[in-house]
Every structure is written in structure tokens, then in C-alpha cells.
Amino acid sequence: MRIIDEQAIENIALGAAVLGTGGGGDPYIGMLMARKAIRDHGPIELYTLDELNDDDLIVPAAMMGAPTVMVEKMPNGDDIVNAFQVIGKYLNKPIRAVMSIEAGGLNSVVPIYVAARLRLPMVDCDGMGRAFPEIQMVTHTIYGISSTPFSMADERGNIVIMETINNRWTETFARSIAVNMGAMAMIACYPATVEQLKEASVQGTLSFAERIGQTIRRARVQEDDPVKTVREAVGGFEVFKGKIGDVARRTEAGFAKGEATLQGIDEYAGQTLTLNFQNEHLAVRIDGEYRVTVPDLIALLDIDTGEPITTEAMRYGYRVTVIAIPCADKWRTPKGLELAGPRYFGYDVEYVPVEQRYGR
Amino acid sequence: MRIIDEQAIENIALGAAVLGTGGGGDPYIGMLMARKAIRDHGPIELYTLDELNDDDLIVPAAMMGAPTVMVEKMPNGDDIVNAFQVIGKYLNKPIRAVMSIEAGGLNSVVPIYVAARLRLPMVDCDGMGRAFPEIQMVTHTIYGISSTPFSMADERGNIVIMETINNRWTETFARSIAVNMGAMAMIACYPATVEQLKEASVQGTLSFAERIGQTIRRARVQEDDPVKTVREAVGGFEVFKGKIGDVARRTEAGFAKGEATLQGIDEYAGQTLTLNFQNEHLAVRIDGEYRVTVPDLIALLDIDTGEPITTEAMRYGYRVTVIAIPCADKWRTPKGLELAGPRYFGYDVEYVPVEQRYGR
């Protein structure tokens, strides 16, 4: 067990935004929210799964919706506490700890807010080791864990709870409700025991995010080439350097979808990169050829500072390095690829692990 | 207390279809479903509110969605039992009896199915004395009773429960989920005590529907003018006689919406009636002038048999008598008219009670 304090939160939010692969929410809003909770209620305890009992019940808390809306609408906090508590009430069981469902600037720290408000510990694992746009896209699904009871809450005080026959149906219902709630909702879902999570979760994601965040903050001030330092810290590969050109976005069915075009600079001069996203970055083509796809991670780092740029923060003229990071092994299984591989998202291409293409 | 048997069900389904004012579901499907339940599980008991204890908990069960879909998709029965039982489980209270939320060929008898399957009594009251298309449009809302906990179930086994800050939000969420579930869902909602219902419900609706159904069945074989007999039984007024011409329908946002045009016959020859509907008939114009609007009831009766014709059964060439029936007094209060008067549905006209226009 160790203590998560204000300093740790800033690092986690920043580092998780790299793992958030363009999505997972804005790290600044996440950081503000969690910092306030820790100031008001005190620091929180972070446990590894091994430090808990096998039958302890763990519930993830998160925000869902289009990140384009999230940047304009700060969650009020009571909504996420509502969503979380209703699961314990519905199951009529005590919840031992909270966890992140995904890595991301916001969704890595939303659980910290819940932990601080409710004086509950947090567990150092998540359901992705990255961020994905749809509810069923978690390692829990690969291991047969139900997303339900699944709860949603909005800032007005409305609550929706569902029990579904599979996690795809949860996505369908939850997406409609999130749209009704204003394209954004607070959720609690995938209740599971520690024993289940030892098999089904991606462990150590929060600590990993924290180390990445520390590296970025140090690199900003100390390094000649901050991007290289960050890239090495995440075990990633350089894919491209370029200037952001057109960004076409639309908020559609509760998602921020779109495509960005980058013109190469330096050794990539003359090349064009096309980036597709749906909340998260999904696929990179260079001069029309697929180079990186889900489930591997795609991150855009500011070329001068090494800081991650989320999909909604992409603007014309930004100079970025595009890096690719190997995903958690669970995503490379047949079930993992069926759930969140390139073909699920409509890209007619085989998944090639990033380290096969870019070598070590 | 009295017993509802197979014969009673046929009368109720038929009579309730008149009060269903074009909506509330197909009486034939409702009758089949409830008859099977009574054959399998025995007849059910119908109570008046006065025969129950004031603190007894009563929960309505119903089907919601576009009637155009309902006629093609027979509910499997387990879904409505699921939706109903989850309310008792969620509230952790025993449910004393089931009731109809609205009058309609289907929704007056869906609760009979639940009562038979679960061996529960039914109460002789409803929340409208007619049918309305939206969830918040019940007399419960006029008296401040919450629609939630509100549950929904589909034939696959999915369940959604909600707690909302007002009944309009329930409509918003439930409509989206109903669309996701296939434009049709089984619901249980508006849990209330007998004491609350004595004030807030429309009493005797089921018995009234049964008497209307008996009248129609007798009129079919015995009367020269079955429409007149039925019209007198429901206390209605003749508004028009005509032949159905164009019917424009669309299934939109989970509703069956549209407009029908009728060409006058007999003493109405040369006149044109325009009928607007959204699941239920909402407004009648004759030669462009509003003649009948919500919340009063509009029914189309087959000119030869006196049988009611639902919105989805309207076909080119049918010869019908259009009758108007005064709504329950609760709908004529300021709150009632705000909830379901002509302006709510977008008709720029004052509500005029039908008996003021057509006299007694």
C-alpha cells in the first residue's frame, strides 16, 4: 500500500493522458477534480491486488461520453458518487475499493476523486492499460466478466441502472442514455472480485502512468529532446514527426469521431499521415499505408515539451511526434482482437504488433 | 372483489381499445396473451381500491413503444414478468397488486397477464382513463407521484432501471432504451400506495372497458346501428362519418406518428377530416378547423360493426364513424392540460371540452 497525494495526482493525470491514446479525458480537468477531493478529504491509499482479499468487491468508476463535451462541462462530483454508491446498494454488498476502468487523463483520476470522497482505497489496475471508446472494450470482457450491474448518473440527479445479457448491449443502452444526459455521464460498472481481477485486469497501470508523468515533468525542464525521453519511458516507437493540418471532427452518437492529416517534417518531409479517431486514436496511415492500428496505442506528443495531446486538443499548426506503444498482451489474443482490433472499427487490415513493424 | 375470467378478458381488451383512442396496443394480441396466462394459471381477482389497505403497494405493468412494431412482435411474457418483479426487488418491498397504467387493447390486459402468472390480484383503476403516448402523461404526475423506480425489460433478458428527478426525464431515457430494445419494451413504473391512488388514479377503468366490450359484442349481432349503441355506452358524441383516404405514417423516435385524411359520407359528404396521431389520436380538424383535441378521446369505429380501429389498423377505404368522448376530469385541470393538452403536442389552439362543442 502507498499513499496518493496531490503531487502523485498531477503525474498520474499527465502520464495517463499518454496511455489514453488521445482519449480518456482531459488531464487538466481530471487533475483539478481529484486535487480538490484530496484537499477536502485527505490523501488516498493505493493497493496492489495482492494486498487485498480474494473475495473483496472492486468497482470501477469513470466518465463516459464525447470528450468534446467533457472539456466544456466539468463534472460536479456528486454525480460520480451517486453512480458508484448505487452499485453497492443494488448488489447489497460492501464495496472494498475503487479502480480505473481505463487509462486516461480524466478516467485515471475520477476513481481517485471517488476514493477521497468516500474514504475508500484504490487498486492499482485497470481494464485496458489504455483507453477505448466503447463500454465492452475491457479486458474484463475477454475473461467473461459482466459489465452489469452498470450505473449511470448525471449532474441533475438522474440515475439509470442496467443488467444486460452481454457487454455489447450495455454499450448500446449506455450510449443512448449518455446522449440523453448531455453527451456525458458518470458511470460505475464491471463489479468484480479481487480474485477475478488478478486474472482479468491490467495490473500496475496507475503506477506506470505516474512514472510517465514524472518523466514528462522532468523532461520539460531538463532534456534537449523531451519526446525521446518520454518515448523511452513508455517503451514506444517513433512513427512520424509532423505538423497538424486539417482536423475534421463530428460529435456523432455520443462519440467524438474524426480524421486528422499531418504533414511530415524533418526526415518525414514530403510524407502525409492520416489519423482516425473515435474518442481515442484508432489508426495511423502514412501515405495511405496502415502503419499502426488498435489495439496498439497511438500518442501525439508536443515536439517541444513531450506532453500528450488529446484528440479534442489537436489544432492546426501543432508540431508533434507520433509514437506507437505496444498494448497489453491480453489485447493480442484472438478474443482481444475480436473485441477491439482494427476490423471491429471497420479497417480492412490485419493487426500487426507495433514492435514487429518498428523492431526493437 | 370479483373474478376476471376468459370471457371478461375479451370484453376488456375490446372495450379498452375504444378508450385507447387509437393507441394502447392491439386488442387481439393483448387478448391472446392474457387468455393464455389465465388458461395456464387460473382466473384472477379484481379489487377496487377501497377493498385494499391504504399502505398496500401497487405497481402498473405495461408495454411501451411504437404500436406499428407491437403488431409484428408478440411479447414473450417473461419480459413483462422481469420488468415487474425487478421493481419489488429494487424497493425491497412486497407488491400487493398490479394495475394498468392506461386503457388500451394491449395495456389494459398486460397487467392481467402479470396477475395470472404471479398469482397477484389486480386493481380496477388506471393512470389515464384513456391512452397517451408519453410516460409522464398520467394522472399520477398531476398528483406529484414519481414514475420511478421505473423498469424496462426486453425479450432477450436485458433490464434497465431508472430513478429520475422528474417524469419527463423518465420519458426521455425510456424512449431511447425502447428504441434500442427494438422500438418496444415491457415496463413497470409509478409504484404507489392505495392511499395515493385513491387521490391520483382514474378509478373503475377496467370495469368500464368491460362494459364497453360487452356492448360492442352484443351490438355486432343484435343492432341495426352498432356504432350508435357503442357511442351511447361510452358517453360519446358523433363527430364525423367518412372513408379513410391517405394515411401517412412514420416510426420516429420510437413513436408511430402520422396523419390520416377522411372524406365525409352521408350528412358529412363534401367535408374533409384530418386526424393527427402519435401512437394515439391527438386532434381532429374538419375542413381545417379544430373540432376535438387531447385530452378528450377520439375513437374511430367501424361503421358496420362498431369495433374500434387502432392507428396502426387504419387502411384506405375503411368506412368509419369518428366519435369524441369526454376525458377524465383530472385532465381538465391546469396541470392536466399542461401535461397533455393540445399545446403540449404543438397544436396552437385552446382546449374546448367536447361536450361544450357538441352539447348534450
Give the residue from B173, B187, B189 with the most A CB atoms within 10 Å of its CB, the best one to mutate: B173
Closest CA to B70 of B136, B12, B17, B125: B17
Predicted model pTM: 0.91
ipTM of this model? 0.88
Interface of A with B (CB under 8 A): 90, 156-165, 169, 172-173, 176-177, 179-180
Q: Count of CB contacts below 8 A, A vs B?
A: 49
Q: How would you write A6-20 as a 3-class SS string?
A: HHHHHHHHHHHHHHC
Reported as a single tens digit per residue, the pLDDT across A262-312 is 999 999 999 999 999 998 999 999 999 999 999 999 999 999 989 899 988
Supply the pLDDT for residue A31.
84
Nearest by CB to B158, from A156, A161, A169: name it: A169
Distance from CA of A325 to the nearest CA of B (A): 36
d(CA B60, CA B237): 30
What residues in A contact B173, CB-CB < 8 Å? 158, 160, 177, 180
CB B320 within 8 A of CB B244: yes
Kindly determine whether residue A163 and residue B158, on different chains, have CB atoms separated by under 8 Å: yes
Mean pLDDT of A311-339: 95
Kindly determine whether residue A158 and residue B177, on different chains, have CB atoms separated by under 8 Å: no
d(CA B16, CA B213): 7
Tell the residue number behind the cell numbers 452489469, with chain if given: A148
N- to C-terminal Cα separation, chain A? 34
Burial B193-207 (b: 16+ CB within 10 A, else e): bbebbeebbbbebbb
Supply the pLDDT for residue A232.
92
Q: Is A97 helix (H, G, I), strand (E, B) or coil?
A: strand
Give the residue from B90, B159, B167 with the most A CB atoms within 10 Å of its CB, the best one to mutate: B159
d(CA B229, CA A50): 78
Neighbours of A166 (CB within 10 A): 15
Reported as a single tens digit per residue, the pLDDT across A134-190 is 999 999 999 999 999 999 999 999 999 999 999 999 999 999 999 999 888 999 999
What residues in B contact A180, CB-CB < 8 Å? 172-173, 176
Nearest by CB to B176, from A156, A162, A180: name it: A180
d(CA A140, CA A331): 11
CB B88 within 8 A of CB B52: no
CATH numbers and ranges of domains, chain A: 2-205 (3.40.1610.10), 225-358 (2.40.390.10)
Kindly determine whether residue A173 and residue B162, on different chains, have CB atoms separated by under 8 Å: no
Closest CA to B58 of B90, B23, B93, B82: B93
Examine the pLDDT at A71 and tell me if it is beyond 60.
Answer: no
Reported as a single tens digit per residue, the pLDDT across A207-220 is 999 999 999 988 88
d(CA B182, CA B251): 12
Q: What is the DSSP letter of A234?
A: H
Q: Is B13 helix (H, G, I), strand (E, B) or coil?
A: helix
Examine the pLDDT at A253 and tell me if it is beyond 90.
Answer: no
Cα separations in angstroms, A226 against A208, A300, A311, B98: 18, 13, 21, 67
d(CA B216, CA B221): 9
Q: pLDDT-derived band of residue A23, with 50, 70 and 90 as boundaries?
A: confident
What residues in A contact B176, CB-CB < 8 Å? 176-177, 179-180
Residue of A nearest to B167 (CA): A158
CB B13 within 8 A of CB B5: no
Q: Please name every residue paired with B263 in a beta bridge, in sequence order, or none if there are none.
A: B243, B272
Kindly determine whether residue A158 and residue B159, on different chains, have CB atoms separated by under 8 Å: no
Supply the pLDDT for residue B225.
87
Supply the pLDDT for residue A68.
61
Q: ∠ CA A226-A227-A229 to the nearest 5 degrees?
A: 65
Cα separations in angstroms, B301 against B22, B165, B219, B280, B305: 10, 40, 12, 14, 8
**Tens of pLDDT, residue by residue, chain B (360 residues):** 999 999 899 899 989 999 999 988 778 888 888 888 899 999 999 999 999 999 999 999 999 987 665 555 666 789 999 999 999 999 999 999 999 999 988 899 899 999 999 999 999 999 999 999 999 999 999 999 999 999 999 999 999 999 999 999 999 999 999 999 988 899 999 999 999 999 999 999 999 999 999 999 888 888 778 899 999 999 999 999 999 999 998 887 778 889 999 999 999 999 999 999 998 999 999 999 999 999 999 999 999 989 899 988 899 999 999 999 999 999 999 999 999 999 999 999 999 999 999 975
Kindly determine whether residue B169 and residue A161, on different chains, have CB atoms separated by under 8 Å: no
